[in-house]
Chain A
């Protein structure tokens, strides 16, 4: 496979769940690519579909009430049509995953060594003894001190950060080509978060593993990924290289996310601005642009027209699903960067006269 072919290519993926309350459109037509050894960040609030889409890649949403369509091409193979046994062979072997809460993600009754050996032997026929040697190496690889001794400890005997290291070691057991990290630092202390991110970055370089980093925290992706997909209500609303997301974001939701985290490069006096409202119900999505009820720059038309994910003029690598005119968006972002509140920015841009 040539280096220019994506390792993972998700095409128009839809994951809907039939529930008693109605059809939940958890993921509603998303597409993204991950290059071999590359790193993609998927950003969004809870309920934006970022976890469900990744679990679907792993084949872990095959519930009786799930309706899944689209394509998930991994090394050219469509995982959505793969049999359960084929998928099982890929899980933990070619694609591995780590989760948000490392304590609840490890079985409380088994020693970490047992759980690591199990992961190794699920895909490789090696004697237990050899698998145990490998397990010790893996613990050393993720910087757990005294791995030969800690291998016989239970998960509850580890600290939160150490548990996440164990999870990472387990994910790396079979040299996966892709690692999906679902909010890997959310349950950890801030100081530990940085260590875990550094570890993931280091392993990504050393082992040439591609990474999908799922998070609600833009701070997490800033230094770990190459590309970013911003998800809202089951859709990708903006996709761009990571520098562009921070320097020239185009979607009002992305602006909201950026304005709600502390930044070193903006004036200290600038208040953090939360995004008003709540994520929409995935059963009754708002008409038109699904962000319109929370968007400070909404126009009447946006309540009816569903925006496509189009390339930003002049930058084919940057796509955004927004009905505002490109010039208007740029003006608004300039006002916001200058420290204006959303309402002030809107007023300023409207004073200048907006193209119809």
Chain B
């Protein structure tokens, strides 16, 4: 088990290296603004722009030889030797600081949404499976299709149109720009995240409910479920202890992947509600050609996905005793 984890962690380093290389290459291959020009400001003199260019190291060749002078070499040195993600081209702030100040917000958004979608998906999935082919089952499964198909930015706008306390039809909850950090005002923090949590959770809740339902329907035909009934267990025990226990295992897999993706930033939700998280940071960095920040957010996103995948695999060996590493 330990050897397995160490092996996976080594692979993670390889993967992150590959990912950062790809991001780096894509940035220079695709046309973008001149970062030096942007950094120096629109009214700067050509000399000033050149000075900025030298300062950022953008005058050096990107990948070409000599290797030791290239931008890529400098990037790798900073990242892997000093753990330095560099400074933003836009405001000279440390990318590391930019990310760490925004990370808690993104974690709160992602984990909160996950709690919401699990709280919805479990009862809905289980009841739908138990009442399969009933009117209620068909109705709920129809609603889940809508929730899956609705784009999250549209759903966010609809939610704001309906519930935003200043412009909504039913002014109930704080909407855009209402986010305050937890430590400043917990009650306000909670309220401000309610709409984003539900909007972000909607499609996941639907996908998980459907997944759980179909897993359960499959498990229900297993011989060991027949055994559980033949033992004279109460129906409740048969469902919760025997059926659901088997049906959640595949759910854990996609849960790990989904959470990993969201921790890398829920770009659309954060943008609609103007929540200062990793997703918004990445979005702004991309639109401004801010390579160090792009690199930083991409690496973080990749890191979360890889780590959560590893956690899923470890969790699997606890969930299914037949799995051994």
Question: Which A residues lie at the B interface, using CB under 8 A?
Answer: 58, 60, 84, 88-93, 96-97, 99, 101, 104-110, 118-119, 122-123, 154, 156, 167, 170, 173
Contacts and interface: CB of A to CB of B under 8 A. Distances in A.
12 contacts: A84-B235, A90-B232, A92-B232, A92-B233, A93-B232, A101-B223, A104-B222, A105-B226, A108-B320, A118-B237, A118-B241, A173-B231
B219 to A, nearest CB: 10
Contact of A109 (B227, B233, B319): B319
B86 to A, nearest CB: 48
Interface in B193-245: 222-224, 226-235, 237, 241-242, 245
Given A88-B233, A107-B224, 13 more contacts: A60-B226, A91-B229, A91-B231, A92-B232, A99-B230, A105-B227, A107-B242, A108-B224, A108-B321, A109-B321, A122-B232, A156-B322, A167-B227
Contacts of A88: 232-235
In the A-B complex, list the 9 residue pairs whose CB atoms are closest, starting with the nearest.
A92-B232, A91-B232, A92-B231, A104-B223, A119-B231, A107-B224, A105-B223, A154-B321, A97-B230
Contacts of A167: 227
A167 B231 CA distance: 10
B229 A60 contact: yes
Nearest to A58: B230
B227 to A, nearest CB: 5
B224 A105 contact: yes
A122 B228 CA distance: 10
Contacts of A89: 232
A305 to B, nearest CB: 38
Nearest to B246: A109
Nearest to B133: A64
Nearest to A87: B232
A122 B233 CA distance: 6
A135 B29 CA distance: 69
A156 B241 CA distance: 19
A36 to B, nearest CB: 21
A89 B235 CA distance: 12
A279 B226 CA distance: 26
Contacts of B231: 91-92, 96, 118-119, 122, 170, 173
Q: Looking at chain A's contact residues, is the secondary structure mostly helix, strand, loop, or mixed?
A: loop
Contacts of A154: 321-322
Nearest to B224: A107
Interface string B47-76: 000000000000000000000000000000
A96 B245 CA distance: 24
Given A104-B222, A109-B320, A109-B321, A99 B227 contact: yes
A118 B222 CA distance: 18
Contact of B322 (A60, A105, A108, A170): A108
A121 to B, nearest CB: 9
Contacts of B223: 99, 101, 104-105
A104 B224 contact: yes
Contacts of B226: 60, 99, 105
Contacts of A84: 235
Contacts of A122: 231-234, 237
Contacts of B246: 107-109
Contact of B321 (A90, A91, A118, A156): A156
A101 B231 CA distance: 16
Nearest to B132: A64
A167 B230 CA distance: 11
B234 A106 contact: no
Most chain B CB within 10 A, of A101, A109, A154, is at A109
A66 to B, nearest CB: 15
A110 B246 CA distance: 10
B132 to A, nearest CB: 10
Contacts of A123: 232
A96 B235 CA distance: 17
B227 A106 contact: yes
A177 to B, nearest CB: 14
Nearest to B232: A92
A82 to B, nearest CB: 13
Contacts of B227: 99, 105-107, 167, 170
Most chain B CB within 10 A, of A105, A107, A154, A173, is at A107
Interface string B261-301: 00000000000000000000000000000000000000000
A293 to B, nearest CB: 32
Nearest to A55: B226
Nearest to B134: A64
A93 B231 CA distance: 8
Contacts of B224: 104-108
A101 B230 CA distance: 15
B230 A107 contact: no
Most chain B CB within 10 A, of A106, A110, A123, A167, is at A110
Contacts of B233: 88, 92, 118, 122
Contacts of B222: 104
B230 A91 contact: yes
A304 B29 CA distance: 84
A99 B237 CA distance: 21
B230 A109 contact: no
Nearest to A96: B230
Nearest to B233: A122
A54 B99 CA distance: 65
Nearest to A92: B232
Contacts of A109: 245-246, 319-321
A106 B225 CA distance: 8
A53 to B, nearest CB: 15
Contacts of B232: 88-93, 119, 122-123
Contacts of A118: 231, 233, 237, 241
Contacts of B235: 84, 88
A97 B229 CA distance: 10
A33 to B, nearest CB: 22
B249 to A, nearest CB: 8
Nearest to B241: A118
A96 B228 CA distance: 11
